[in-house]
Amino acid sequence: MSHADPVPFDDFRRFYLAKSYDVIGMGTFRRHLCKCKEAGDPWAVEMNASVNRVNQVVRHVQARIAQIPCPRNALLQQLCKDVMVGAHPPIRMYVGYTTCCLSGVSCNMCIDLTRPAKNAQHVYIHANFSHFFLMLWYCCKLEYVVRSCTKAWLERQSNRESSNFKSLCERFEDETQDYCKSLHGVLSQSYAHVNKTLDVLMHYSLEHRVLGGQAGGVANSEPATQATTSKEASKEASKEASKEADAKRGAPLSVI
């Protein structure tokens, strides 16, 4: 699976239409697709295969997060898991000086990743990490994004009550072709960025493990050293995130 282009556009388009049609049909299209696939209808077999390919990309990202070395990076892994299941993109800003929980750096204008739960502990991260977490959220919440956008389109249709399912689907496909291409482009960017950042993290974690073994395991037994190495890996991953953030930051936000 290529980091640059994890899903061909034709597969993504069929995934996009399958999820959108299900919203337009109020949940009936999924059952229709399953029934037609079991009957061997070529269009249904092809669309179902495309849906599975896109879902495989999502599962791959989730698996990579599960492989983050612990316990040194337990906090990072938990933050990633929280972002992946969050209903809203991680873009809430905290204005004021505070400390980034990943790098330990004091900073202004952080991203607030505090969970929406009573008495939840405040979690703030440096803005340099925001692009990574936003791209992670998009990869894992792709179906949610497609369904939400379809609902928004459907609500703008003044004559939807008098339109049948087929006409609405045809109109939706015709009016959102460019939007579908944009979402596919953002998925490619997001997938590549998340994997590149995790590659850096894995490299630093592996490097520290090797050095720790050569030193007789002393590094692995000292909490202070563990924290320092985790911060170094986080900072390096942050640098990777910053390289692409300036050029790409606007695209995901405008599409989402």
The rounded distance, in Å, linking the Cα atoms of 241 and 251 is: 15
For tokens 């939400």, the residue is 148
Percentage of residues in the chain having pLDDT higher than 70? 78
125 beta partners = 111
What's the 3-state SS for the chain?
A: CCCCCCCCHHHHHHHHHHHHHHHHCCCHHHHHHHHHHHCCCHHHHHHHHHHHHHHHHHHHHHHHHHCCCCCCCHHHHHHHHHHHHCCCCCCCEECCCEECCCCCCEECCEEECCCCCCCCCCCEECHHHHHHHHHHHHHHCHHHHHHHHHHHHHHCCCCCCCCCHHHHHHHHHHHCHHHHHHHHHHHHHHHHHHHHHHHHHHHHHHHHHHHHHHCCCHHHHCHHHHHHHHHHHHHHHHHHHHHHHHHHCHHHHHHC
Q: How many domains does the chain have?
A: 1
User: Are the C-beta atoms of residues 102 and 126 closer than 8 Å to each other?
Assistant: yes
The rounded distance, in Å, linking the Cα atoms of 248 and 244 is: 6
Instruction: Give the pLDDT band (50/70/90) at residue 228.
Output: very low
Instruction: Give the pLDDT band (50/70/90) at residue 234.
Output: low
- For residue 72, give its domain range: 9-255
110 beta partners = 94
Quick check: is 245 in a domain? Answer: yes
Quick check: is 1 in a domain? Answer: no
209-222: average pLDDT: 41
Quick check: is 198 in a domain? Answer: yes
Quick check: is 103 in a domain? Answer: yes
**Is the pLDDT assigned to residue 66 strictly greater than 60?**
yes
User: Residues 1, 130, 224, 121: is their CA dihedral positive or negative?
Assistant: negative
Quick check: is 133 in a domain? Answer: yes
- pLDDT of the residue at 41: 96
57-86: average pLDDT: 91
- pLDDT of the residue at 146: 97
- Provide the token pair at 240: 């990777």
Quick check: is 4 in a domain? Answer: no
By DSSP bridging, strand 106-107 and strand 98-99 are antiparallel
> Of 22-36, 125-139, 159-173, which range is least confident?
159-173
Instruction: Give the pLDDT band (50/70/90) at residue 72.
Output: confident
Quick check: is 233 in a domain? Answer: yes
**At 223, which amino acid appears?**
P
210-239: average pLDDT: 44
Quick check: is 3 in a domain? Answer: no
For tokens 């993290």, the residue is 201
The rounded distance, in Å, linking the Cα atoms of 103 and 143 is: 32
For tokens 């030193």, the residue is 215
